[in-house]
Amino acid sequence: MSKKRVLSGIQPTHDSFHLGNYLGALKQWVDLQQSHDAFYCVVDLHALTVETDPKLLAKRTLLSAAQLIAIGVDPKLCTLFIQSHVPAHNQLAWVLECLTGFGEAGRMTQFKDKSQKGGTDRTNVGLFTYPILQAADILLYQANNVPVGEDQRQHIELTRDLGQRFNSKYKEVFTIPEAHIIKSMAKINDLQEPTAKMSKSANSMAGVIELLDTPDVTMKKFKSSVTDAGREVKFDASEKAGISNLLTIHSAFSGKSIGDLETEFAGKGYGDFKVAVADVVIAALDPIRKKTEELMGDQAELLKILNSGADKANEVASKTLADTYAALGLIANG
């Protein structure tokens, strides 16, 4: 039996991924490429919805691809590519836009949140059509499953609706995908604000562990993490949010159970425990940072990998686009 197909994408909006991304979505990407025919893309076109300095966008796109490879996304096992290398994404997006109701697009909660925050003057039409481009990303590859976080559920619903609408109006062109909602391996909170999820939108980066932080920086962030006035290394999410978060992080990297860690650190001070957590995290992240640097040091090689990914992606995408155009009555050229 042929493998099921998955597709997912990540925006190149930051220099470095953080621990939350890594233990959530990205580790799943690495696992899924073994059991599935996986397509993963760095969605640089989506990133245009937020104005970014062009040099920075270019750097972040390459850094994102390099980090994906560094954490174990293997271009030999999966198809890794940059979204803008496959023109069919924009082409299918237009077709789907013509099938989407204005009200339907306006009901997307992420659009509502972002446009409310920015106000109408700072809200571009790209933000409005963002989920439709995402639907095109997915439908082009006939993906069966889309591994994403809970916040993307509504976008996958829209993708399914649009796929079904096209199939019933015109022709069965699209596979209707299912959301594969990723339950993060561990819920990772901010080190400075241990009751809030670790996120790039935090007020300060002091509590956010980035994959590309140097060991010194990582150690410093753990040492200055916020804990409580007690002295027991014990899991208690409501009374000891900071220590509980550190236990969760240690456990995610060391594979030891929380219970075993409580025993191991019984009678030891918070200071020692923080250093121990930093040590296991650094041991895991240091090779990732080094591998990323190595890939960024040979951009010709990195681009070669991405170009061959784009070739594979283009092959699948252009076939779907041709079927879509034919079903719509667009005359083929030639």
- Residues 143-172 interacting with ligand TRP (rule: CB under 6 A): 146, 148, 152
Three-class SS state of 190: coil
Distance CA 235, CA 258 (A): 7
Q: Does 138 bind ligand TRP (CB under 6 A)?
A: yes
Which one among 5, 11, 73, 273 touches ligand TRP, defined by CB under 6 A?
Answer: 11
Cβ of residue 254: shortest distance to ligand TRP, in angstroms?
Answer: 28
Shorter beta-carbon distance to ligand TRP: residue 139 or 186: 139
Q: Does 7 bind ligand TRP (CB under 6 A)?
A: yes
Which of 27, 59, 187, 197 is an active site residue?
197
DSSP-derived pairing of the beta strands 145-148 and 37-42: unpaired
- Residues 22-61 interacting with ligand TRP (rule: CB under 6 A): 43, 46
Cβ of residue 130: shortest distance to ligand TRP, in angstroms?
Answer: 7
- Return all residues near 125 (Cβ < 8 A) that are at least 6 apart: none
> Taking CB positions, which residue lies at the least distance from ligand TRP?
9
**Binding letters toward ligand TRP, positions 77-116, x by CB under 6 A:** ----------------------------------------
C-beta separation of 174 from 166 below 8 A? yes
Cβ of residue 16: shortest distance to ligand TRP, in angstroms?
Answer: 16
Q: Does 137 bind ligand TRP (CB under 6 A)?
A: yes
Q: How far is CA 213 from CA 81, 104, 205, 278, 312, in A?
A: 25, 41, 11, 12, 33
Active site residue 197: yes
Return residues touching ligand TRP (CB under 6 A). 7-9, 11, 43, 46, 134, 137-138, 146, 148, 152
The residues that are catalytic are 114, 197, 200
